């Protein structure tokens, strides 16, 4: 039979790749490679002048743009850190014997599916400093709430909190899948050996849910570094430039007609993402093998 | 002992879930049915008079039935891009999983790149313009396919690995061409994972704001997310209409969630765990 197979053409033809390769190549790979060239030009879509690294020099000379870079990192670290911690705690809670487990899982997960713009606009209203529900509730218990989105020191973190509100459901689900796959005997054995809930959390759940942690960290970092729509819906990078991230800088420069500079922002975002994700992925998965 | 503690914990969890997760949604619904004056107070209160129908009609009629056009556009965008994505991704995943070749390393690398690398915006516009597809619906559909296909390929590949090869061999011995083998034998077996891909990607494309913003600007072609965003700057004094709009575009994902909860969950987690 193998000889017949060998004489025939493969039943798995290469041309099956072709349509996908065409779309992906033309609309994703070509622009990605082109971005490296165009980031070195002064560019008006129709013609481009090669100007070397001037765009990058401008980018790093402009404090507003540099703060976009640091804000991106802060935003990504804060959101993924909170998603890991809260996601793990919620997953432990939602895999325990608790009343209303199905309801709780649904309610935590549903915001993941809701339009980011809708969530952003809703929380912009809820976070209104004078009349918003959050500060009204705080006032009712005698606390004066801050100007969540109007205070320059707080705006970025407020948006990050809403991001966590919307995204923690996915992290929770990934952790639940990880925890459920841990054999029940481990917990029973630990109980027989006299381990309490805390011990079995730190000695069993935490190490064995490691693949889930890797996934949550990687996914939320990728999402956090590229994040645009929530920030745009809530603050548009303001007040001033205090909640600008690279993705919103790219959009603003594009709107202003600085296509070269905008593309340089894109290249910087590409470099940041790969510089963060690749080493982290390598580090996290290598440790996993050793376990 | 544990029983009592669970009651206590359950109570706290349910209470917190109401405050943190349900109140914002209740706020959307309540504000959406209020009168303009009451909605402007931005408070969390029971509507004095319910204006469900009137607010609904006002939102729909605003700016020459923009919302209707936007819903039509979003439907066209979502249905076509997800349909193309499913077929193309299944074809790639099938050959990628079945045939061992030295190209596989490169192809796997490209698939993962599609998940990680942020798309280069202005160069994509440049390519679309060269092709005459900038500011057109087909252009945006293809962009959504290109950006979303990696995730679909990963899901399909994991599932195809569970289909026994003997099936292929039997079909080949029966004289099926590669084309027939895939579309008549394999593709129908992918039904369950295809539904997962369709549901997850539909929600993603429907909720997408960034790509329509860049690649399909202009009122004529607005998608629901763009319309909502434009609403927010235009109707700053009409919060009831703004929230009615938010409510309306939350309904499609809600329906998906109610019918396909399991699929969405398995799709989002299984794809993720392996990545």
Cβ(A172)–Cβ(A109) under 8 Å?
A: yes
Residue of chain A whose Cα is closest to the Cα of B232: A121
- The residue count of chain B comes to 275
Asked if A158 and A79 count as a contact pair (C-beta separation under 8 A), the reply is: no
What pLDDT digit, counting tens, does each position of B205-251 carry?
999 999 999 999 877 778 999 999 988 877 777 888 999 999 999 99
- Interface subset of A 88-127, CB within 8 angstroms of B: 93, 96-100, 103-104, 106-118, 121-123, 125-126
Q: Does domain B64-274 have CATH number 1.10.3720.10?
A: yes
Mean pLDDT confidence for A15-19: 93
Q: With a CB-CB cutoff of 8 Å, which residues 187-216 of chain A face chain B?
A: 211-212, 215
pLDDT in tens, B161-207: 999 999 999 999 998 888 899 999 999 999 989 998 999 899 999 99
Q: What is the mean pLDDT of chain B?
A: 89
Domain ranges of chain B: 64-274
Q: Each residue of B56-67: pLDDT tens digit?
A: 998 888 888 889
Facing residue for B116 by CB, picked from A31, A93, A277? A277
CA–CA distances in Å: residue B34 to residues A114, A134, B51, B61, B240: 22, 20, 6, 18, 6
- Residue B175 has φ and ψ, to the nearest 5°, of 90, 20
User: A85, A76 in Cβ contact below 8 A?
Assistant: no
Spell out the SS3 assignment of A101-158.
HHHHHHHHHHHHHCCHHHHHHHHHHHCCCCCCHHHHHHHHCCCCCCCCCCCCCCHHHH
pLDDT of residue B274: 45
- Class level of CATH domain A36-290: mainly alpha
Contacts of A138 (CB under 8 A, 6+ apart): A144, A145
Find the CB nearest A27 among B122, B146, B250: B146
Higher pLDDT, A105 or A11: A105
pTM confidence score: 0.90
d(CA A19, CA B143): 14
* ipTM value for the complex: 0.90
Q: What is the pLDDT of residues A20-63, one digit of tens each?
A: 999 999 999 999 999 999 999 988 877 888 888 988 998 899 88
Residues of chain B found within 8 Å of residue A247, distances taken between Cβ atoms = 118
Q: pLDDT tens digits, residue range B256-272?
A: 889 988 888 777 776 55
The number of C-beta contacts closer than 8 angstroms across A and B is: 252
- Is B68 an interface residue toward A (CB < 8 Å)? no
B8 touches chain A (CB under 8 A): no
Q: What share of chain A is helix, strand, coil (3-state, %, to 5)?
A: 75, 0, 25
Sequence spans of domains, chain A: 36-290
State the pLDDT confidence band at B4, using cuts at 50, 70 and 90: low
Would you say the C-alpha torsion B148, B151, B152, B157 has a positive or negative sign? positive
Cα–Cα distance, B153 to B150 (Å, whole number): 5
Whether A26 and B214 lie within 8 Å, measured CB to CB:
no
Chain-centroid distance, C-alpha A206:
22
The reply to whether residue B118 touches residue A266, judged by beta carbons under 8 angstroms, is yes
Tell me which chain B residues have a C-beta less than 8 angstroms from the C-beta of A267.
Answer: 120
Across the range B19-28, mean pLDDT stands at: 94
Q: Which of A114, A120, A123, A171 to mutate to test the interface with B (most CBs of B within 10 A)?
A: A114
């Amino acid at each position: 039979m193998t000889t017949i197979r060998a004489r025939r053409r493969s039943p798995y033809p290469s041309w099956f790749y072709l349509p996908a390769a065409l779309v992906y190549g033309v609309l994703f790979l070509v622009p990605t490679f082109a971005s490296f060239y165009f980031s070195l030009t002064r560019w008006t879509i129709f013609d481009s002048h090669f100007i070397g690294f001037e765009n990058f020099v401008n980018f790093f000379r402009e404090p507003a743009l540099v703060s976009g870079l640091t804000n991106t990192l802060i935003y990504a670290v804060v959101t993924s850190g909170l998603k890991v911690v809260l996601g793990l705690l919620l997953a432990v809670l939602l895999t325990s014997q608790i009343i209303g487990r199905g309801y709780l899982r649904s309610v935590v997960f549903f915001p993941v599916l809701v339009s980011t713009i809708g969530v952003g606009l809703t929380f912009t209203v809820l976070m209104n400093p004078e009349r918003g529900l959050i500060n009204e509730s705080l006032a009712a218990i005698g606390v004066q709430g801050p100007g969540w989105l109007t205070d320059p020191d707080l705006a970025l973190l407020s948006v990050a909190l809403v991001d966590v509100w919307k995204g923690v459901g996915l992290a929770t689900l990934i952790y639940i899948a990880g925890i459920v796959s841990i054999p029940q005997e481990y917990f029973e054995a630990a109980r027989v050996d006299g381990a309490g809930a805390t011990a079995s959390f730190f000695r069993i759940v935490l190490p064995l849910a490691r693949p889930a942690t890797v996934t949550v960290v990687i996914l939320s970092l990728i999402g956090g570094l590229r994040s645009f729509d929530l920030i745009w819906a809530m603050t548009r990078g303001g007040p001033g430039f205090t909640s600008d991230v690279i993705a919103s800088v790219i959009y603003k420069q594009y709107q202003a007609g600085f296509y070269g500079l905008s593309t340089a922002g894109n290249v910087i975002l590409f470099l940041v993402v790969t510089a963060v994700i690749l080493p982290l992925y390598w580090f996290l998965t290598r440790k996993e093998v050793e376990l | 002992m544990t029983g009592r503690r669970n009651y206590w914990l359950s109570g706290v969890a349910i209470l917190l879930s109401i405050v943190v997760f349900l109140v914002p949604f209740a706020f959307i619904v309540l504000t959406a049915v209020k009168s303009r004056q009451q909605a402007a107070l931005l408070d969390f209160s029971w509507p004095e008079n319910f204006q469900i129908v009137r607010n609904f009609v006002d939102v729909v009629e605003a700016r020459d039935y923009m919302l209707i056009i936007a819903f039509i556009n979003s439907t066209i965008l979502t249905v076509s891009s997800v349909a193309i994505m499913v077929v193309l991704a299944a074809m790639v995943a099938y050959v990628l999983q079945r045939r061992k070749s030295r190209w596989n390393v490169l192809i796997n690398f490209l698939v993962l790149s599609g998940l990680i690398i942020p798309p280069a915006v202005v160069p994509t516009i440049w390519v679309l313009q060269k092709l005459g597809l900038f500011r057109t619906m087909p252009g945006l559909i293809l962009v959504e396919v290109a950006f979303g296909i990696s995730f679909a390929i990963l899901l399909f590949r994991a599932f195809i690995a569970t289909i026994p090869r003997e099936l292929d061999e039997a079909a080949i011995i029966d004289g099926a061409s590669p084309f027939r083998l895939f579309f008549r034998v394999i593709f129908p077996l992918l039904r369950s994972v295809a539904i997962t891909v369709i549901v997850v990607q539909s929600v993603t494309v429907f909720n997408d704001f960034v790509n329509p913003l860049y690649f399909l600007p202009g009122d004529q072609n607005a998608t629901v997310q763009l319309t909502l965003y434009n609403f927010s700057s235009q109707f700053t004094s009409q919060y009831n209409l703004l929230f009615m709009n938010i409510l309306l575009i939350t309904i499609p994902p809600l329906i998906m969630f109610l019918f396909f909860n399991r699929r969405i969950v398995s799709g989002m987690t299984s794809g993720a765990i392996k990545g």
